[in-house]
Amino acid sequence: MIHIGQLDLEKRAAVVAVILEKPLEASRKAAEMGADLLEIRLDLLGIRNLETAAETIQKVKSETGLPVILTNRSVTEGGKWEGKEDDRIELLTNLLSTNLLSLKDGPDAVDIELSAGREERDQVIKAARAYGKTVIISSHNFSKTPALQEMKTILEEAFLAGADIAKLAVMPQSRRDVLDLLRVALDAREAGNAVCTIAMGKLGRHTRVIAPFYGSVLTYSAVDSEVSAAPGQFKVDELKKIMELLE
């Protein structure tokens, strides 16, 4: 079974609110809008200090009661981390295992990129495993959609690397690209694998609503329509409402 915190992702897909500014205010708003999960984007929040990060996560969880995905996205995968790669990985690892946070107050899952160095990625995964955290291994392509078989290979590599959930976000150039992505999600679901698949941009925007019906266990959304972490995101409440209409 795939869980993030108390959420059973095999029962239904979770709507993730991306927290990228004013973390406490945005998290409270996301909870009010109906988010199931929060993704704390340390890179977009500009948080590089361990104590500040730990305090932020603890307060967000205390105020909202929602599970948290910890993410510190690299520049090569569309993130805004400024600093050394070793420091980025160390911050993630310490937040998973630090004494500053109890298991209850700490993050429930971590997202690490497939493109990260193997040693660094394994370091994060080892810490997550030691403390019972869910591992998301992600891959983002902001320029195109790889061929169908290549997308399947990317997801397979993520699982081989230790993913509980393999995440793939692509930029479609045609409706055929979108269909290929949905097929990849469906094939993964039928194989018993937990994936998150996203087609970004205007052409793929509807996948944020329908991909969960084809097997994606997570779908990402924005708290503010003026500020989003990736092109094509709906606001949390909009996404929830449309998904409920289709259930």
Angle, nearest 10°, between helix axes 50-64 and 85-97?
50
- Coil vs helix vs strand at 120: helix
Structure tokens at 203: 């052409």
199 alpha carbon, distance to own chain's centre? 14
Question: Measured at the alpha carbon of residue 29, what is the angle toward residues 26 and 34, in degrees to the nearest 5?
Answer: 125
Range list of β-strands (E), the chain: 3-4, 7-8, 14-19, 37-41, 68-71, 109-113, 134-140, 165-170, 195-199, 218-221
Which residue in 115, 215, 120, 126 sits closest to 162, CA to CA? 126
Strands 37-41 and 68-71: parallel
- Tokens 């949905």: give the residue: 182
Which residue in 180, 187, 104 sits closest to 141, CA to CA? 180
Tell me, what amino acid is at 212? P
Query: How far is the C-alpha of 18 from the C-alpha of 142, rounded, in Å?
Result: 18
Residues catalogued as catalytic: 140, 167
Query: How far is the C-alpha of 63 from the C-alpha of 51, rounded, in Å?
Result: 18
138 within 8 A of 169, measured Cβ to Cβ: yes
